[in-house]
Amino acid sequence: MAIINATDANFASEIGEGVVLVDFWAPWCGPCKMIAPVLEELDGELGDKAKIVKVDVDDNQETAGKYGIMSIPTLLVFKDGQQVDKTVGFQSKDQLAALLEKHM
């Protein structure tokens, strides 16, 4: 499955089903750039067990505000549309895999 870039308009439909890891990021954020290849690698290993969605906080301020995003990267885990977990800052692939594993 490929990583999806969500917007304010389609965010709810993207997180509505299954386990979803959402990366709130911005193009100017150094740690966000560091975590991008980690997310790509994780996405390749997850297959259909979970999906990864990215939300650019500069372009989608409504969604970022709704979830109280104050620092980036912030990663939220949703299960069937409900937020079930959260972590802030750079995370290793193993840390992110463990975070998702709790909810799959």
Domain residue limits, the chain: 4-101
Length of the chain: 104
Q: Identify which of 97, 33, 26 has the alpha carbon closest to the alpha carbon of residue 64.
A: 26
**Is-cis flag, bond preceding 31, omega within 30?**
no
> What pLDDT, in 10s, does the model give residues 36-93?
999 999 999 998 999 999 999 999 999 999 999 999 999 999 999 999 999 999 999 9
Q: What is the pLDDT of residue 68?
A: 97
CATH code for 4-101?
Answer: 3.40.30.10
Q: What is the pLDDT of residue 36?
A: 97
Q: Identify which of 43, 28, 27, 24 has the alpha carbon closest to the alpha carbon of residue 88.
A: 24
12 pLDDT tier (thresholds 50, 70, 90): very high
Positions marked catalytic:
29, 32
Q: Identify which of 87, 9, 22 has the alpha carbon closest to the alpha carbon of residue 51.
A: 22
Q: What is the pTM of this model?
A: 0.97
